[in-house]
Amino acid sequence: MLKIAAKKPLNSWVFALYSTKYLPFGCDYKEDINRLSPNLKVEIIFDVGANSGQSALHYRQKFPQAKIYSFEPVARTFQKLQAATSKDTNIFCYQLALTDRDGQEEIVTTGTKGTNSLKAKADPSLSLQNDQTVELFTLTKLDSFLENNLVNVEYIDILKIDTEGFEIPVLQGALNALKAGKIRYIFAETTLRDKDKDHTNFFELKKFLEPYNFNPIGFYDLVPYWGGGNAIDYLNVLFKLWDNQS
């Protein structure tokens, strides 16, 4: 493979070399955080919608010193999360659905797909499809988790949310933390398409966060919409709390 690549004409390759100091915003969120908050040591990450552990392991590479709290409510997916992160003593896994209320609710889940969502409430009148099951989820607010669990968390340096259109309810369950300025960065999956009902609309999320002094500072991992119209389908957005402590 390397021999074949070496034979390619030099003019067929295109390289752009950047010092990380001048890397455009939106290329690497860690570098963007470093530039905006040079004195911040990322120590606490909340991984909401952790799926099978891929995001937790990614954060471990980016932030070797961080404690990562991963939340995944789907039973089979949670088992994969535990298996993937079992050797890391600073990744803590919770089979919980973070949302805007405390309690329990029956949800239809489909395998271990990353598209499972709290939107899929169980309906007794509908038949289950292949690989679908009904699970009883334990729901909790982020505020309740911080108040009731024995975790030594003063600030959440990065709150990552990937909950398939349920990002705002997660934040509605974190109002105390938002009001107190306890969350420094929010990394969330959003959409720019009004007709996309599977992801949270970027402009709605931006409007929700503005009263808490959060502004978007970078767009990452853009995925095109293949249904026509030359649109961006969904993407990740990094929001920063603007204060005097960064």
Provide the domain limits for residue 42.
29-100+143-241
Q: Read off the amino acid at residue 170.
A: V
Q: Read off the amino acid at residue 51.
A: N
- Which tokens is 210 given? 């503005």
CA 46 – CA 86 distance, rounded (Å): 17
Closest by CA position to 46, among listed 164, 179, 141, 180: 141
Is residue 128 included in any domain, yes or no?
A: no
Which one is predicted more confidently, 224 or 120? 224
Contact 40, 155 (CB under 8 A): no
Is residue 16 included in any domain, yes or no?
A: no
Q: Read off the amino acid at residue 92.
A: F
Residue ranges of the alpha helices (H) in the chain? 2-6, 29-36, 54-62, 75-85, 142-148, 167-172, 175-179, 202-209
pLDDT in the model for residue 88: 98
CA 69 – CA 67 distance, rounded (Å): 7
Is residue 203 included in any domain, yes or no?
A: yes
- Tally of domains within the chain: 1
Is residue 86 included in any domain, yes or no?
A: yes
- Which tokens is 142 given? 């982020």
- Which tokens is 190 given? 């959003």
Q: State pLDDT tens for residues 103-145.
A: 999 888 775 555 544 544 444 445 456 667 888 999 999 999 9
Q: State pLDDT tens for residues 51-103.
A: 999 999 999 999 999 999 999 999 999 999 999 999 999 999 999 999 999 99
Query: Taking CA 222 as the corner, what is the angle to CA 58 and CA 33, rounded to the nearest 5 degrees?
Result: 50
| Strand-strand pairing, 214-224 and 232-241 | antiparallel
Q: pTM for the whole thing?
A: 0.84
Instruction: Report in angstroms the alpha-carbon separations of 245 from 5, 32, 45.
Output: 48, 16, 18
Is residue 127 included in any domain, yes or no?
A: no
2-11, 47-56, 83-92, 212-221: which range is least confident on average?
2-11
Give, rounded to a whole angstrom, the gap between the first and last alpha carbons of the chain: 46
Is residue 22 included in any domain, yes or no?
A: no
Is residue 158 included in any domain, yes or no?
A: yes
CATH no. for residue 33? 3.40.50.150
Is residue 57 included in any domain, yes or no?
A: yes
